[in-house]
Amino acid sequence: MADRRDREGIVVRDVTMTYERRGITTTAVDGCDLIVPKGSWASLLGPSGCGKSTLLKILADIVRPTSGIATMDELTPAEARAARIFALVSQQSVMLPWRRLAENVELGLEVAGVSRRERRARAREAIELVGLSGFEKAYPHELSGGMRQRGAIARALTLRPKFLLMDEPFGALDELTRERLNFELIQILEETGATLLLVTHSVSEAVILSDKVAVMSPRPGRIVHVASLPFGHHRTPELRDDPRFVAAERELRHALGSGGAPDAAAPPEPAAPDRALVAG
């Protein structure tokens, strides 16, 4: 039973990603193993340059691993992308500036060839879910960063994805907005039942949003510790006062500290070493 949930979830087995730039070979990800059962929430936590974004990009079929297996619901990333079973939310909300919010949110469905009536209905649903009702006709430049990011989440949700891949989605926002959005995201996840894989460098965000946190260390990128969190999926802001929350944070900080110091001089992760996959 658990085994099937594992298989239908995210499976990363011995995934390695190396690339060469100017004659120097860098190992972004080294032999990572991770299982995120279907319907559960997981985070990749670590400092800059630890490979967490690369691992996510491998799953999102933006980058190809040098070796290893990565699957979602037993499909390879390329198959998963073609079947549209996942949605990616990145740090930049990537709204098309010439489209209004509703049209931006509809973009995924539009590309998938869904009829206009259904697109409109699903977009409206998603916009309501993220709390942006009333702003359908606004242009991205008229919205705040937090609103744009909510729009990006809405766009992801219209696809009713089985898997939600998020790469530091709230990284560009101020802390207050970020905290609020964290708990809003929890409600959305509860309602949609998607499997979440979140990349973050914030310890508290990882604890708030996960059942399982994989701590990664840089150069080479390895998973050095996996923490399981006992909180269910129904979480409120009071969670932060829970002693188990504090303990979990402590455990993770310790793991971060010992697994290779967050090095300020760590080279930035490459945007997408194998751009060939995203040819224009």
Q: Which residues bind another protein (CB under 8 A)?
A: 60-62, 81-82, 84, 86-88, 90, 92, 94, 96-99, 107-108, 110-112, 139-141, 271-272, 277-278, 280
Task: Name which of 158, 225, 161 is nearest 194 in CA terms.
Answer: 161
Helices (H), the chain: 2-7, 52-59, 77-83, 101-105, 107-111, 116-129, 145-158, 175-192, 203-209, 243-258
Nearest distance from C-beta of residue 115 to another protein, angstroms: 16
Of 167 and 205, which has the nearer Cβ to another protein? 167
Of 60 and 173, which has the nearer Cβ to another protein? 60
In the block, tokens 């129904």 appear at: 234
Question: In terms of C-beta distances under 8 Å and separation of at least 24 residues, what long-range contacts does 98-102 make, across chains too?
Answer: 99/139, 99/140, 100/136, 100/137, 100/138, 100/139, 101/127, 101/132, 101/135, 101/136, 101/137, 101/138, 101/139, 101/140, 101/143, 101/151, 102/127, 102/136, 102/137
Nearest distance from C-beta of residue 83 to another protein, angstroms: 9
Interatomic CA distance for residues 107 and 9, integer angstroms: 26
Of 155 and 212, which has the nearer Cβ to another protein? 155
Interatomic CA distance for residues 9 and 130, integer angstroms: 25
Q: Report whether 222 contacts 44 (CB < 8 A).
A: no
For 129, the token pair is 């879910």
In the block, tokens 């099937």 appear at: 4
Of 139 and 183, which has the nearer Cβ to another protein? 139
Q: Three-state SS for 39?
A: coil
Of 100 and 124, which has the nearer Cβ to another protein? 100
Interatomic CA distance for residues 272 and 64, integer angstroms: 10
Nearest distance from C-beta of residue 142 to another protein, angstroms: 9
In the block, tokens 């998603």 appear at: 126
Nearest distance from C-beta of residue 161 to another protein, angstroms: 11
Instruction: Tell me which amino acid residue 144 is.
Output: S
Nearest distance from C-beta of residue 62 to another protein, angstroms: 6
Nearest distance from C-beta of residue 82 to another protein, angstroms: 6
Of 244 and 275, which has the nearer Cβ to another protein? 275
* Bridge partners of residue 166, in order along the sequence: 89, 198
Nearest distance from C-beta of residue 248 to another protein, angstroms: 31
Nearest distance from C-beta of residue 90 to another protein, angstroms: 7
Of 98 and 265, which has the nearer Cβ to another protein? 98
